[in-house]
Chain A
């Protein structure tokens, strides 16, 4: 079964450093997303990406964050100048294939720890 792959599974970084989280969405999907989940809290939407541009973003997704699809398979989330409160699980998701394809498929996540 097709899956969304995320790397690394766990990243520890020092406050103020930049991190890049990587994702390989399902190959025929057209829409890509990043979500985050702070421990014990809801899964929260960050951004959606379609046709090489951001289609929607939340209030959380400020200038500290950026996304990129550098090639035909990868989708990245960059967090500049990380803060302690950025510590969370970050999930990549994709949806919308060429045929009828419902729902959003999530990756296993990257656990980001900012120290």
Chain B
């Protein structure tokens, strides 16, 4: 069983739609959960960071972590064409100094 599973998409939505991106994981020891955005041939850019279970909101983005189900989500409200990118979930056991385990990424396309 893979450690972090993420539906690769592609996911295509019209501008203004609400987007839901999800990851599941197998190791209950993960404590820190992140969402990154990656444009083609660029480095991952941190969008959201969550510790343990709960919700976190930042502008149009909301991250949810459900540790009991080993499931994390990223919601994007009022999606824009500039949101078109690959979204990577990542998680780790500790806050720093340890490996981030990534999902494969979901490719999102927002059309105007």
> A residues engaging B (CB < 8 A)?
4, 6, 30-31, 33, 35, 41-45, 48, 50, 55-56, 58, 89, 91, 93, 95-96, 102-109, 111
> Which residues of B pack against A, CB within 8 Å?
34, 36, 41-46, 49, 88, 90, 95-105
Q: Specify which chain A residues have a CB less than 8 angstroms from the CB of B105 in the assembled complex.
A: 42
- The DSSP consensus for interface residues of chain B is loop
Main secondary structure of the interface of A (DSSP, over half): strand
Contact, CB under 8 Å: A103 / B44: no
Is there an interface contact between A48 and B98, defined as CB atoms closer than 8 Å? Answer: yes
* Additional 4 contacts, C-beta under 8 A, given A102-B49, A103-B49: A4-B43, A30-B96, A31-B96, A43-B90
Say whether A96 contacts B95, CB under 8 Å: yes
Shortest Cβ distance from B38 into A: residue:
A43
Q: Is the CB of A91 within 8 A of B44?
A: yes
Closest Cβ of chain A: how far from B31's Cβ, in Å?
Answer: 12
User: Which residues of B lie under 8 Å from residue A109 when comparing CB positions?
Assistant: 41-43
Q: How far is the CA of A44 from the CA of B98 in the complex (A)?
A: 12
Residue of B nearest to A58 (CB): B99
The answer on a CB contact under 8 Å between B104 and A103 is: no
Most buried by A among B36, B88, B96, B104: B96
**CA A19 to CA B13, docked complex, whole Å:** 42
Chain A residue nearest to B105 (CB atoms) is A42
Across the interface, do B96 and A95 meet the contact criterion of CB distance under 8 Å? yes
CB neighbours (8 Å) of A91 from chain B are 43-44
CB distance from B42 to the nearest CB of A (A): 6
Hey, which chain A residues are within 8 Å of B42, CB to CB?
108-109
Q: Across the interface, do B46 and A105 meet the contact criterion of CB distance under 8 Å?
A: yes
Tell me the complex Cα distance, A96–B100, Å: 14
Is there contact, CB below 8 Å, between A103 and B46?
yes
CB-based contact A56/B95 at 8 Å: no
- Asked if residues A45 and B101 are in contact (CB atoms below 8 Å), the reply is yes
Selected A-B contacts with CB under 8 Å, 27 pairs: A30-B96, A31-B96, A33-B100, A41-B104, A42-B102, A42-B103, A42-B105, A43-B88, A43-B102, A45-B99, A45-B100, A45-B101, A48-B98, A48-B99, A55-B97, A89-B41, A91-B43, A96-B95, A96-B96, A102-B49, A102-B95, A103-B46, A104-B46, A104-B100, A106-B43, A106-B44, A106-B46
